[in-house]
C-alpha cells in the first residue's frame, strides 16, 4: 500500500484569544507534519455564530505567526480544500446530511431544549449518565408533520445503533474501546441549520484529507462518535492521538491564576517566541535533552511516541528559564526594539550596542531595560532600604576619597574603578564587600548588575563624579 502523506491540522473555535493549551495543540500538529515532510492546515471551527468572532480569528493568525507557526492551507492563505471556515462550508455539508437521512443513519429530532434538559435531569438523578432518550428515533411521517405544524425546528441526530464496541488505536493512549450504549444518539446539525461540532470536525478532517489528529484528551470521548459518523458515510477517518492537558504548577487545570492564559498575554508581557516553544515542546512531550532547540530541530525531534499521559505542568519558572535562553540569542538589533522611543533617545548612538550587550544578562522583559537606561544615562533611582544602608555605613569619608579619585581622571576620560577603590582603601581601610558594594550602590543605585567598570565605561565621566560628590557632601543624589 502506498504510504499516506502526513496531513495535520489545528481546528480552533475563534471565541477568544487563543489559549496557551490550544497553542500547544497547534504547535504539536505542526511539528508532526514537519517531521514527516507533510502538510499542516488551519481550519476555523466557527459555526457557533454567537460566540465566534472574525477578529478573534485574525488575532489568532497574527499571534501564531508571531510565535513562528506556519500552515500550508488556511482561511488566511487558501488552499485546495477550502473554504477553511466552517461557517462557509454549509453547502458542502448538506449532501452528507441528506445521505445520512436517506440511509436512516440520521433522523430529525423535535425535542425542545427544555425537554432535553428535563430528560437529562431525570437520568442524572437516577444515577445514570445522560443519553438521548430516543423520543424521536422512530417517528412516523404523521408524527413529524404534527411537530412541523407546531412550528418546531428540528435538529438532525445521528443514530448510534446497537452493535460491537467502537474501537480505535490512539497514538498516545493505545487501544481504546467504547460501548455503543454509552454513546447515545447525538446532534449533527443544530436547529438553526449550522453544523454541530462532531459533524463539521469529522467531515472536514476527512474532506481535507487529514491523516493525523493530535488533540487534548478532553476530546477522547468524541472520537468514537466521529468514527461512527465517518463509517456511515464511507469516509476515511484520521488516526487520533489524545495527549494530556496542561495543568498549572498546583496540578489544577490551567487558568488565569497560573499566570498568562492566552498567547496574547504572554506576548504582551514580553515573552519571546523561542522561549514559549522550548517550554511547550517539553510539556507532555519528552525531549532528548534540555538544550535550546530551534524550530527545525524541534520538528526533527518530535515524535508521537514521546507524547505522554501524565499531566503536562505549565511552569512559569521553566518558562522564565527559556526566556533567559531566548534573550541571550537576541541580536543587538532585536534587543533594541525593546527600548521605547523615549529611552532610545536617551542612549547615545555610539553606545547603543555596547549598552545592550552589557545589560542583556540582567533583563527578562522589555520593561526591565528602562531601569538600566536610567542608571547609565539618566537620573539615579531613589535607593531602597538595603541600598541606603550600604551608603550610610560607608560614610562621607569613603565618598570623599572616591570622588577625588574620580575627578583626577582628566576631563572626559573614563574613571578607573580600580583607581577609585585603591584610593578609598587607602583612606578608609575598607575592603571586600565593604569596599565594592557602597561604590556600586553609589553609581548604580543597586546591589546587582553587570561589571562595575563596564558600566562606568559607558557612563558620562561627569555623571560618575557628580554621583560620588553628592555622597561626599553627605547627601544622596536626588
Q: What is the smallest separation between the CB atom of 219 and ligand GLU, expressed in angstroms?
A: 5
Q: Is 136 a residue that touches Zn ion (CB under 5 A)?
A: yes
The residues pairing with 242 across neighbouring beta strands, listed in sequence order, are 215
Q: Does residue 111 belong to the site contacting Zn ion (CB under 5 A)?
A: yes
* Closest distance to ligand GLU from the beta carbon of 307 (Å): 15
* Strand ranges (E), 27-165: 39-42, 106-109, 155-158
Among Zn ion, ligand GLU, none, residue 111 binds (CB under 5-8 Å by kind) = Zn ion
Output phi, psi for 116, to 5 deg: -65, -40
Element (H, E) at 247: strand 246-247
177 scored as a contact of Zn ion (CB under 5 A): no
Measured from the CB atom, is 116 or 171 closer to Zn ion? 116
Q: Are 230 and 210 in contact (CB under 8 A)?
A: no
Residues 287-306 binding Zn ion (CB under 5 A) are none
136 binds, among Zn ion, ligand GLU, none (CB under 5 to 8 A by kind): Zn ion
Site membership for Zn ion, residue 106 (CB under 5 A): no
Q: Give the interface with ligand GLU as residue ranges (CB under 6 A).
A: 11-13, 45, 201, 213, 215, 219
Taking the CB of residue 456, how many other CB atoms lie within 10 A of it?
21
State which H helix or E strand residue 189 sits in: strand 186-189
Beta bridge partners of 339: none
The answer to whether 249 and 179 are in contact (CB under 8 A) is no
What are the b/e assignments for 105-136, b being 16+ CB within 10 Å?
bbbbbbbeeeebeebbeeeeeeeeeebbbeeb
For 320: left if phi > 0, alpha if psi spans -120 to 50, otherwise beta; the answer is alpha
- Minimum CB distance to ligand GLU smaller for 12 or for 415: 12
Please choose which of Zn ion, ligand GLU, none residue 45 contacts, taking the beta carbon within 5 to 8 angstroms, the exact cut-off set by kind.
ligand GLU
3-state secondary structure of 112: coil
Q: Which is nearer to Zn ion, 138 or 296 (CB)?
A: 138
Among 135, 177, 297, 388, binds Zn ion (CB under 5 A): 135
315 sits in the region (left: phi over 0; alpha: psi -120 to 50; else beta) called beta
Question: Minimum distance from CB of 282 to ligand GLU (Å)?
Answer: 21
227 vs 371 by CB, closer to ligand GLU:
227
Residue 136 or residue 455: which is nearer to Zn ion going by CB?
A: 136
Choice between 116 and 364, CB closer to Zn ion: 116
Given the complex with Zn ion, which of 136 and 247 has the nearer CB atom? Answer: 136
DSSP type of residue 253:
B
Question: Which residue's CB is nearer to ligand GLU, number 219 or number 324?
Answer: 219
Provide the Cα torsion 458, 462, 465, 469; round to 10°: -140
Residue 219 site contact among ligand GLU, Zn ion, none (CB < 5 to 8 Å, cut-off depends on kind): ligand GLU
Among 109, 246, 391, 401, indicate the residue that binds Zn ion (CB under 5 A).
Answer: 109
Residue 229: CB minimum distance to Zn ion, A:
18
- What's the closest the beta carbon of residue 115 comes to Zn ion, in angstroms? 7
Q: Does 156 bind Zn ion (CB under 5 A)?
A: no
The DSSP symbol for 432 reads: T
Cis peptide before 259 (omega within 30 of 0): no
**Ramachandran sector of residue 37 (left: φ over 0; alpha: ψ -120 to 50; beta: rest):** left
Q: Could you give the 3-state DSSP secondary structure of residue 47?
A: coil
In DSSP terms, which residues pair with 158 in a beta bridge?
106, 186
Q: How far, in Å, CA of 243 to CA of 309, rounded?
A: 6
- Give me 325's grid cell: 535562553
Q: Which partner, Zn ion, ligand GLU, none, binds residue 299 by CB below 5 to 8 Å per kind?
A: none
Cα–Cα dist 174/167, whole Å: 11
d(CA 372, CA 456): 12
State the minimum distance, in angstroms, from the CB of residue 90 to ligand GLU.
17
CB of 240 to ligand GLU, least distance (A): 9
Binds 135, which of Zn ion, ligand GLU, none (CB < 5 to 8 A, cut-off by type)? Zn ion
Residue 11, contacted partner among ligand GLU, Zn ion, none, CB below 5-8 A by kind: ligand GLU
- HSE (CB half, 13 Å, CA atoms) of 424? 28
> Of these partners, ligand GLU, Zn ion, none, which one is at the site of residue 407 (CB under 5 to 8 Å by kind)?
none
Q: Which of ligand GLU, Zn ion, none sits in contact with 201, Cβ below 5 to 8 A by type? A: ligand GLU
Which partner in Zn ion, ligand GLU, none is near 100 (CB below 5 to 8 A by kind)? none
**Please, what is the minimum distance in Å from the beta carbon of residue 24 to ligand GLU?**
12
Residues near Zn ion (CB under 5 A) are 109, 111, 135-136
Amino acid at each position: 500500500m502506498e504510504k499516506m502523506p502526513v496531513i495535520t491540522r489545528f481546528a480552533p473555535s475563534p471565541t477568544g484569544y487563543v489559549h496557551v493549551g490550544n497553542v500547544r495543540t497547534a504547535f504539536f500538529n505542526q511539528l508532526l507534519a514537519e517531521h514527516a515532510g507533510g502538510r499542516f492546515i488551519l481550519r476555523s471551527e466557527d459555526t457557533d455564530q454567537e460566540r465566534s468572532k472574525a477578529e478573534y480569528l485574525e488575532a489568532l493568525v497574527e499571534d501564531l505567526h508571531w510565535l513562528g507557526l506556519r500552515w500550508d492551507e488556511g482561511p488566511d492563505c487558501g488552499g485546495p480544500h477550502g473554504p477553511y471556515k466552517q461557517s462557509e462550508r454549509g453547502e458542502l455539508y448538506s449532501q452528507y446530511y441528506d445521505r445520512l437521512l436517506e440511509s436512516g443513519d440520521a433522523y430529525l429530532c423535535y425535542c425542545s431544549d427544555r425537554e432535553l434538559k428535563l430528560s437529562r435531569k431525570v437520568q442524572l438523578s437516577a444515577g445514570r449518565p445522560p443519553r438521548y432518550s430516543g423520543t424521536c428515533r422512530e417517528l412516523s411521517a404523521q408524527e413529524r408533520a404534527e411537530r412541523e405544524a407546531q412550528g418546531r425546528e428540528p435538529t438532525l441526530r445521528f443514530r448510534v445503533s446497537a452493535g460491537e464496541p467502537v474501537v480505535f488505536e490512539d497514538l498516545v493512549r493505545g487501544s481504546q474501546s467504547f460501548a455503543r450504549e454509552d454513546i447515545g444518539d447525538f446532534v449533527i446539525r443544530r436547529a438553526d441549520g449550522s453544523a454541530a461540532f462532531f459533524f463539521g470536525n469529522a467531515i472536514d478532517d476527512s474532506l481535507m484529507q487529514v491523516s493525523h489528529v493530535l488533540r487534548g484528551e478532553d476530546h477522547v470521548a468524541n472520537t468514537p462518535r466521529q468514527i461512527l459518523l465517518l463509517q456511515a458515510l464511507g469516509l476515511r477517518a484520521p488516526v487520533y492521538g489524545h495527549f494530556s492537558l496542561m495543568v498549572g504548577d498546583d496540578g489544577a487545570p490551567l487558568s488565569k491564576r497560573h499566570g498568562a492564559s492566552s498567547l496574547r498575554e504572554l506576548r504582551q508581557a514580553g515573552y519571546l517566541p523561542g522561549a514559549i516553544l522550548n517550554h511547550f515542546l517539553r510539556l507532555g512531550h519528552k525531549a532528548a535533552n534540555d538544550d535550546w532547540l530551534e524550530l527545525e530541530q524541534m520538528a526533527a525531534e518530535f515524535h508521537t511516541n514521546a507524547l505522554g499521559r501524565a499531566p503536562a505542568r505549565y511552569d512559569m519558572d521553566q518558562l522564565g528559564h527559556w526566556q533567559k535562553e531566548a534573550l541571550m540569542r537576541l541580536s543587538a538589533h532585536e534587543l533594541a526594539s525593546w527600548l521605547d522611543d523615549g529611552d532610545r533617545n536617551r542612549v547615545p548612538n555610539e553606545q547603543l550596542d555596547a549598552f545592550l550587550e552589557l545589560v542583556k544578562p540582567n533583563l527578562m522583559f522589555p520593561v526591565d531595560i528602562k531601569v538600566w537606561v536610567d542608571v547609565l544615562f539618566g537620573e539615579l533611582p531613589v535607593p531602597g532600604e538595603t541600598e541606603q544602608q550600604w551608603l550610610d555605613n560607608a560614610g562621607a569619608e569613603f565618598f570623599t576619597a572616591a570622588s577625588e579619585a574620580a575627578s583626577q581622571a582628566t576631563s572626559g576620560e573614563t574613571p578607573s574603578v580600580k583607581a577609585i577603590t585603591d584610593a578609598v582603601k587607602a583612606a578608609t581601610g575598607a575592603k571586600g564587600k565593604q569596599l565594592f558594594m557602597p561604590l556600586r550602590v553609589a553609581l548604580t543605585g543597586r546591589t546587582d548588575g553587570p561589571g562595575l567598570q563596564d558600566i562606568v565605561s559607558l557612563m558620562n565621566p561627569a555623571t560618575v563624579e557628580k554621583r560620588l560628590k553628592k555622597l561626599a557632601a553627605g547627601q544622596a543624589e536626588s
